[in-house]
Structure 1
């Protein structure tokens, strides 16, 4: 084994006295000094993403928040999908009734060919069945192909409420509006519908277990302009939102947190190993913003070189150690496909 693969990463230091709930903006869960554990699309390392079983498993494993991407059907109903194109995560391509609906659209600056949720009614979307996005890596999840439906956001919010009652603890949701500009171009308005749904569920309040997320500042300003009072976070990819990152104090007038690609917090070196912190966390904290990077995955294919186990890309490596390295950099939480690895990472001195 090479020297880089055997290198150890620092364990997360004890958290300082600053409480996320009491002092950080947005009243994030949990009401302790522990970093926030966000289940990325549910426990998507073990169940097909954005399905009710994936969300439930994540909650029972110990997630504080469920990360739910939101898009909208032709008849204006909000559903949980990562992108508006459906062929990567459903069986729509094998459905003869939808063969003529394949189309080419420009989405977020990219040309995308496929089947789009905004071309289908809720009834048509509900007739589809979910498939695993990474079948070559997540063999156990493939067993659920064809068994699960695409949930509505209303169903997800209902599940959140039931699980919080059953588990006897707070359980939140991070609701990310996907490709809002593209949907508006299609004559749909997911922002108004989302605000209406939150109000109907009693979740439009500053202390609600909800955060609305977008990579579009104008969309977040519109959410606030509609009078919605939940915390707002800006999702940041590498190379984007340079102005917002240069002037974090100005960003803090709109949002209460950043959700950056983890490369913006600790980038990879050219040899694939994990690099040093960039200083983004400290700068964001100085502006009063919380930082929750994404996305941590446990398969070797996604891990830094020194944290992989063996050569098989689908084998689970030292994911908890990677998360701990980011906790040591001071992040306020993290977003992971593998909730159980996240739970281990928060327990100082334990290893996966």
Structure 2
């Protein structure tokens, strides 16, 4: 998934009322009353390069209940874990002279990108590459050390780690850019279904949840499997006033754009939109500002946002959390669980209310009633939940 004040007392009262109504056994106002899931976003992305077996294992060691592989397809049709079809920023491919001629341009969700693409590499070729940390602010010392795993290798890891740690580790794959893959002759869904069937994962009780930003592929999957499905909900940005910015290609599911459907991602989160989502999915994965937005402030009324922490720049630390929207309440009313993304622990990614403490952000969303969180630092998510 892409990167990126409420009154806590009032929220706690709301949470208590919801909990009393649902009789939650763990003391959380989730859809079922169970503890919210900790989902290791791309593994343990805050510590190790994204989408590596080592990163997934780290996430499990840090307490993740699920690990999340983004799935793309190789030239020979193998599902592998990479954040995007374009692997320029997540592997050392640009440093490999033998693949210099593979650099090209492709259109992904209507946007022309330049780089190296998984669909131009066989699995054997891809296995010669090594993962790198895509965010410069994070530890770069593991660059070049870890291979790109296949989806089956991720499933095998989850199974073996479940035995080792004595608890079931779930896998939460995302089908990345389904329309792009169809245009490459590499439809993801049937390949995914075949692998899930091989592992016996075909029911709602299976330790797997499949997610996508597009809609038609989820509807197709619903006709073929009963594993849990999640509709992801994106946006372009958050405006200074806290409203959601919807600019292409992050304004709507790309299959909507291709079909000429005027609905946006925000349309999916209306009461009627959520009811429709429930006809083909079990949950939603919204970008977290859809649930609790934040805004910049201008106390001086000079037309410029205030630098709340006085560091000379404007970022998340200068934003103030706002009251929660009705999205979670309406989703739960429709019978949908809610797993927002992405929670990151760096101080510059935390609103002023949290005073640099990532656990404070988690607690706010747990009090609201989210059913799980996509976390780059699973240990922080677990600590905030369990303590």
Measure the CA separation in 1 of the matches of 2:70 and 2:174: 5
Q: Which residue of 1 aligns with 2:231?
A: 234
What residue in structure 2 maps to residue 339 of structure 1? 378
Task: Indicate the residue corresponding to 2:321 in structure 1.
Answer: 274
Q: Name 2:283's counterpart in structure 1.
A: 257
Shift of residue 149, structure 1, vs aligned partner? 0.4
Partners in 1 of 2:25 and 2:217 — Cα distance? 29
Is the partner of 1:127 in helix, strand or coil? coil
Q: Which residue of 1 aligns with 2:267?
A: 243
**Distance in structure 2 (CA, Å) of the matches to 1:88 and 1:9:** 39
- State the TM-score, normalizing by the size of structure 2: 0.79
* Cα-to-partner distance string for 1:295-337 (whole Å, 9 max, x where unaligned): 00001221113435xxxxxxxx311101111112221111110
Q: Does 1:121 align with 2:122?
A: yes
| SS state at 2:87 partner | coil
Q: CA deviation at 1:98?
A: 1.3
Contact residue 359 and residue 383 of structure 2 kept, 8 A: yes
Contact 1:73/1:118 (<8 A) preserved: yes
Contact residue 9 and residue 322 of structure 1 kept, 8 A: no
Answer with 269-278 or 70-79: which moved more: 269-278
1:137-164 CA-to-partner distances (Å, cap 9, x unmatched) read 112xx11111100000010000000011
Per mean C-alpha deviation after superposition, the further-off stretch among 286-295 and 267-276 is 267-276
Distance, in Å, in 2 between the alignment partners of 1:164 and 1:117 is 30
What is the match of residue 71 of structure 2? 70
- Alignment of 1:157 onto 2:155: yes
Aligned to 1:138: 138
Q: Secondary structure at the match of 1:79?
A: strand
On the 8 A contact 1:36/1:64 being kept in 2, the answer is: yes
Does 1:193 find its partner at 2:191? Answer: yes
Instruction: Note the 1:301-312 alignment, pairs <5 A.
Output: 301-308=348-355
Question: Does 2:39 align with 1:38?
Answer: yes
How many pairs were matched up? 324
Rate the CA distance shift 1:84–1:255 in 2: closer, same or farther, 3 A: same
Preserved contact between residue 7 and residue 323 of structure 2 (Cα < 8 Å) = no
Per the TM alignment, residue 9 of structure 1 is displaced from its structure 2 partner at its CA by 5.6
* Aligned equivalents of 2:331, 2:291: Cα separation in 1: 11
Distance 2:126 2:347 in 1: 33
In structure 1, what is the Cα distance between the partners aligned to 2:41 and 2:62?
Answer: 13
Q: Distance in 2 between matches of 1:83 and 1:62?
A: 26
Q: 2:123, 2:107 → 1: CA distance?
A: 23
CA distance in 1, matches of 2:200, 2:292: 38
- Which ranges of 4 or more aligned residues in structure 1 deviate by more than 4 Å? 7-15
Q: What is the aligned counterpart of 1:300 among 347, 355, 358?
A: 347
1:327 maps to 366
Q: Report the Cα distance in structure 1 between the residues aligned to 2:328 and 2:290, rounded to whole angstroms.
A: 9
Q: What is the aligned partner in structure 2 of residue 182 from structure 1?
A: 180
Partner SS state of residue 188, structure 1: coil
Per-residue CA deviation, residues 7-31 of structure 1 (Å, 9 max, x unaligned), is: 99669666822479xxx89xx9xxx
Name the CA distance, whole Å, in 2 between partners of 1:306 and 1:252.
34
Aligned equivalents of 2:283, 2:24: Cα separation in 1:
16
